[in-house]
Structure 1
Amino acid sequence: NADVKITIDEACDLMDAVEESINGRDMGYPVAMITESSMPKNMQSRFLRNLNLSDEQVITTKDALALSSLWQLYAIDRPSLKEKPLIQTTPTDLQEDGDIFEWIKKRDRILYHPYETFANIVRFMRQSAMDPNVQSIKICLYRLGTDPSIFEALKAARMNGKSVSVLMELRAKFDEDRNIKWAKDLEAIGVHVVYGPVNLKVHSKLLQVVRLENGHLVTYTHLSSGNYNVSTAKQYGDISFLTVNKEIGEDVSELFNALTGYYGQRKYNHLLVAPATLKASLLKKIDAEIKCHESNGNGHIIMKANGLIDQDIIAALYKASNSGVKIDLNIRGLCCLRPGIPDVSKNIRVISIVDRFLEHSRIYYFHNNGKPEMYMGSSDMMPRNLLARIEVLFPVLDKDLMKSIKENILDIHFADNVKAKELKEDGTYVPVKKDGKALRSQQWFIEHNGCWQLK
């Protein structure tokens, strides 16, 4: 396990503890050894003896190992063998010289990365840093990466006299050293840097800008499934959400107060926050969909996430299936639910899409008898997300925007018959049957880039 183990006492600083734990990570005991089936037995025995492992801890495979070496093949200059470079776009009504504040104020907005460029979020931060009316900027940083664009925007904001607060999660696996460096650099320029609760990893993606307009403070809020990482935003499929909704702004402000001060039970108008309310809220919504179906016969739940492991969520989905609710799940990675089992999960369909870009967005949709609800955000349905992390799901309150996301993003994923694999009841994955015209969802998004934007 590569997660750092933190031991804290009253006299200990979190940053010091993380640094100490990183130094000891390479000293951990091995728990398993993966070998190619062609490895000679005497060589395997020597490794087992030197690593103090038993035969039961050996995993033998016919598949290739050290797949990261394939990047060397990809580096070969053969454009004809590669995908065409993605041309990222900006919404047509957000021109380069346009006022991004005015764009957000007109209505709730989304940007679907990487098809729409993450540079617009960096632009939002840069404009905030330079705007004399902006009073403060708060942001949660989990994996900042090596690109300095976000850091430079925060630095510019601080140099221009704005209040800048950063919650830096130091325990992002394999990014600990980099995050510690960013934290120290930010502190050096006068940014208020905090690290959140010691016993909970902060995985939520939050950015809030407070601006003085006509004598009143207006809160601009950005929430997302993706990190503020300029590099991975070119490879990950994530959805950014921007709003001036006052109640959502109050919720995010309240959460920042909790994370930068005493983390305790808080009340939120709209946000579902783990570990306080998120899991219980999802279970209630599944149960509500069961009741809707029993009364009206039109129950439908759609979920798109990276993982589904939590036993209580799985049990609730089984119960919904047995009640007749139609359930469509797009789970890219680990899924412990088994679909298609009579009297258990016959109304559940599970697909996984692995393609050119890493599917990373999370979307939760409940039909609710024709009054649908949709939530997006950072959380998967896994115990680590629901119980051991600060996660946020936020509602899509604009009904037209919700309809567009469902029809132009969610439904397209579930129509994929090129890259989608379907999970069977025995735990195996098989290619989705190609009924009708071939549809590769990610290619469809490229060809119809921006169709989810409201006119």
Structure 2
Amino acid sequence: MSESTTATPPVRLDSPDGYFNRELSWLEFNYRVLAEALDERTPLLERLKFTAIFCSNLDEFFMVRVAGLKKQVEAGVSKLTPDGRSPMQQLADISARLHPLMQEHSLNFEQALRLKLTDVGAYIIKYVDLNQEQRAYYQNFFEAQVFPVLTPLAVYDPGHPFPYISNLSLNLIVVLREPQRDKELFARIKVPKSKSLPRFVPLPEHLRPHRDGKPAVWAGVPLEQIVAHNLDALFAGMTIQECYAFRITRNADIAVEEDEADDLLLAIEQELRKRRIGGSVVRMEIEAIAPPAIRAMLMEQMQLCDRDVYDIDGMLGLGDVMALRNLPLPELKDPEWVTTVPQRLQRFHSAQADDDPSTPDEFFAEIRKGDILVHHPYHSFAATVQQFIDHAARDPQVLGLKMTMYRTSGDSPIANTLIAAAEAGKEVAVLVELKARFDEANNIVWARRLESSGVHVAYGVVGLKTHTKIALVVRREGELIRRYVHIGTGNYNPKTARLYTDLGLLSCRENLGSDLTDLFNFLTAYSHQRAYRKLLVAPVSLRSRMVEMIQRERDLARAGGSGRIVAKMNSLVDPEIIANLYEASQAGVKVDAIVRGICCLRPGVAGVSDNIRVISIIGRYLEHSRIFYFHNGGDEEIYIGSADWMQRNLDRRVEAVTPVEDETSFRALQEVLGVMLSDNRQAWELQSDGSYIQRRPADGEAERSTHRILTENALKAAVEETD
């Protein structure tokens, strides 16, 4: 092996200068989400969507990541992250970065989006601006629908301990005065939230504002304002002085000691009950107009410091504006996308509509002809992956089905199909990951339903989260037993398949079928399989093989070749992978990383990472697929799978990454990567200082948007296929 001729020393794994902080990098990702809400090029109702996503993303960030850092501080943990920050430093830096971001988020909604909504006939009205007739309507609504469910609680009084305030709840702190004793008192009211009590309560059409002689498309008032302006009904005989909204976030992560749990399902159910109550408070949002004394009182009761409190100029909890995206204004949304079907599966999609009983045999025969790559949401999930499972369930030649379920919908058609297959006498085994964060309750429900229907249900390997997306169909064909597989990057969830970009490979390659058989045996029993024929499996071989392939590119470049790596993923965090990418860059390997979210690698550093470019694609769809390309001296390799380059994926999860060897599928993946690398609308380039700059078309240059181009390509292919 020849040594590099460069004088630059290799990057040390413990050098903090080589890494961005994970949490701060995530905040930069969420800023890119916010940027879509700020961007005038984004349709108005889509700007509302991104406003809501920014808010809901932050809720989860505080419930898990900030809560975890606070626990470390309380436990006296002083261990530094790879970028050299202690838990306390990270909390301080998060607060410093996030306070102006939340202010920008709020001001954009209050000063831009609300006005633009008014311009198109949708009014979010302040209660104080209602006319008498409109007020009378809301007073009647309050008395009939809201008042009966409210429970005011006294606070800050020796006889009334400070009430428990639930996670993510919107509340009012009310300042009262008792006239007889001239004493100031405080009360808390939780703003109710249910389907019958939406956050934005609409006015009937005859009471809506009019413009140009026509009633508004929609008009409504935030529920908390309806409550705040009808408090007299709650506090008879008291003088209401002030009222301010506040919202809190609690630690909502759960921890289960699997090796000590006799029944994992029961243990997680118990933890979910604790989550509903919530742990310690980690954040408070409060109206900026609230007096310092009120703010200080709430901080004291919830044991918060200044960095935990976010003063908001406007409405709190803007995640609820997602509901306004459903306003009847289709011209202000992205055009509706009708998914296509890959050419080789189109005839089965048509036959399925006619309920042709001969299609299962023909469907599997088509897969035998060669691998089929599917790309959601451009390709229909129902006509590809779901049809694969449906055919297997009703095909009399199919003996068994095995699948993993990480996140699935509450009305999952695939889960129902698996139940039907088991009831029909097929051997069905499902690995249900009970620890999929915030989907635990849904997965518990499905685990019980599957098990009660005769499905063999397993919960995976102790200490490892099962994140891989795999399905195996075992079919009798004459004297042969043949195995068909689906290996994907996304969950078996038809709802997210319309919102997330994911890839899947349908194949009957014997080596892939054998590998999945071994992997399922590892997941459901006591197998200690350490070698796989084609699959890269975590935590067995994925890390070592990825490092080997990066080092191979490095060595080829050192020997005078042209090393090339393109890697697309959600997050790039792992220090060992990053250090190896730096060494590859120093040897002359050209590296493009397409990282949607967190990226701890620092690109563009002279002599270290100047051959590495990092972009992030943010737009209509959430980029969820993982693709790994290696030039390999011209003998190119490309892989897809469920794993990011993070410690948790490489070491603490069960993951599967498969090579894509079919020529047509291989070129299709190269085309996807090429479209993304040339994007000048949705792509953001990571700078060496940690900031991102959004690409924009040069003068006279056509706009190249990844999601638009891939949509157009899918439509073009569908038309060509049907001609």
Do the aligned partners of residues 340 and 36 (structure 1) sit closer, same or farther apart at CA in structure 2, a change above 3 Å counting?
A: farther
- Give the deviation of 1:403 after TM superposition: 2.2
Q: Look up the SS of the partner of 1:242 in the other structure.
A: strand
TM-superposed deviation, 1:277 = 1.4
The answer to whether structure 1 residue 437 and structure 2 residue 437 are counterparts is no
Contact kept? 1:417, 1:439, Cα under 8 Å: yes
Hey, what does 1:414 align to over in structure 2?
677
Partner of residue 174 from structure 1, selected from 438, 445, 448: 438
Structure 1, 61-70 or 129-138: larger mean CA deviation: 61-70
CA root-mean-square deviation: 2.1
Measure the CA separation in 1 of the matches of 2:627 and 2:304.
42
CA–CA distance in structure 1, aligned partners of residues 454 and 303 of structure 2: 49
Question: Which residue among 294, 300, 316 is the counterpart of 1:49?
Answer: 300
In the alignment, the residues of structure 1 paired with residue 380 and residue 670 of structure 2 have an alpha-carbon distance, to the nearest angstrom, of: 21
Distance 1:215 1:421, change over 3 A: same
Q: Give the structure 2 partner of residue 90 of structure 1.
A: 341
Q: CA deviation at 1:173?
A: 0.9
The verdict on how the C-alpha distance between 1:220 and 1:423 changes in structure 2, with shifts beyond 3 A counting, is same
The counterpart of 2:627, out of the listed 360, 363, 369, is 363
- In 2, the alpha carbon distance for the partners of 1:325 and 1:112 equals 29
The alignment partner of 2:593 has SS state of strand
Contact conserved, 2:258 with 2:463, CA < 8 A, in 1? no
Instruction: Identify if the C-alpha distance between structure 1 residues 49 and 342 changes in structure 2 by more than 3 Å, giving closer, same or farther.
Output: same
Q: How big is the shift at 1:43? A: 3.8
- Structure 2: gaps of 5 or more residues: 1-63, 65-251, 352-358
The CA deviation at 1:284 is 0.9
Q: Secondary structure at the match of 1:80?
A: helix
Partner of 1:339: 603
Residues 394 and 39 of structure 1, relative CA distance in 2, 3 Å threshold: farther
Query: In structure 2, how many angstroms separate the alpha carbons of the residues matched to 1:418 and 1:293?
Result: 32
Structure 1 partner of 2:117: none
Structure 1: stretches of 5+ with no match in the other structure: none
In the other structure, the counterpart of 2:689 is 426
Higher helix share: 2
Shift in alpha-carbon separation, 1:64–1:349, aligned structure 2, 3 A = farther
CA distance in 2 between counterparts of 1:192 and 1:170 reads 15
For the Cα contact (< 8 Å) 2:412–2:493, is it kept in 1? Answer: no
User: What amino acid is the match of 2:273?
Assistant: N
Query: How many residues were matched structurally?
Result: 454
Match of 1:446 in 2: 711
Match of 2:613 among 342, 349, 353: 349
The C-alpha deviation readout for 1:188-233, integer Å capped at 9, x for no partner, is 1111101011211100001000101121011000010110111111
| Change in 2 beyond 3 A, CA 1:59/1:387 | farther
Which is worse superposed, 71-80 or 253-262? Answer: 71-80
- Please list the CA deviations of residues 3-31 of structure 1 after superposition, one character each: whole Å capped at 9, or x if unmatched: 42102455611101111111112331233
Look up the equivalent residue of 1:105 and give its one-letter code. R
1:147–1:230 CA contact under 8 A, matched in 2: no
Q: Which residue pairs with 1:18 in the alignment?
A: 268
* Deviation larger for 250-259 or 394-403: 394-403
State the identity %: 40
Residues 296 and 369 in structure 1, CA contact (< 8 A), matched pair in contact too: no
CA contact (8 A) 1:210 1:217 kept: yes
Structure 1 residue 60: deviation in Å? Answer: 6.5
> In structure 1, which of residues 21, 46, 70 is the aligned counterpart of residue 321 of structure 2?
70
Partner secondary structure for residue 429 of structure 2? strand
Shift of 1:293: 1.2
**Distance between the aligned counterparts of 1:60 and 1:289, measured in 2?**
50
Further displaced range: 250-259 or 264-273: 264-273
| Residue correspondence of structure 1 range 35-434 to structure 2 within 5 A | 40-58=291-309, 66-94=317-345, 95=347, 96=349, 97=351, 98=359, 99-119=362-382, 120-262=384-526, 264-407=528-671, 409-434=672-697
User: Alignment partner of 1:296: what SS?
Assistant: coil
Cα contact 2:340–2:380 (8 A) shared by 1: yes
Larger radius of gyration: 2
d(CA) in 1 for partners of 2:293, 2:514:
64
Separation of aligned partners in 1, 2:715 and 2:509? 23
TM-score (norm 2): 0.60
CA distance, structure 2, for counterparts of residue 297 and residue 410 of structure 1:
22
Q: Secondary structure at the match of 1:410?
A: helix
User: Contact 2:604 / 2:611 at 8 angstroms: preserved in 1?
Assistant: yes
Cα pair 1:362 1:378 within 8 Å, conserved: yes
Q: Distance in 2 between matches of 1:104 and 1:113?
A: 18
Look up the equivalent residue of 1:45 and give its one-letter code.
Answer: A
With the length of structure 1 as denominator, give the TM-score of the two structures: 0.95
Deviates more, 1:388-397 or 1:42-51: 42-51
Give every structure 1 segment of 4 or more consecutive aligned residues whose post-TM-superposition deviation is greater than 4 Å. 32-40, 58-65, 450-455
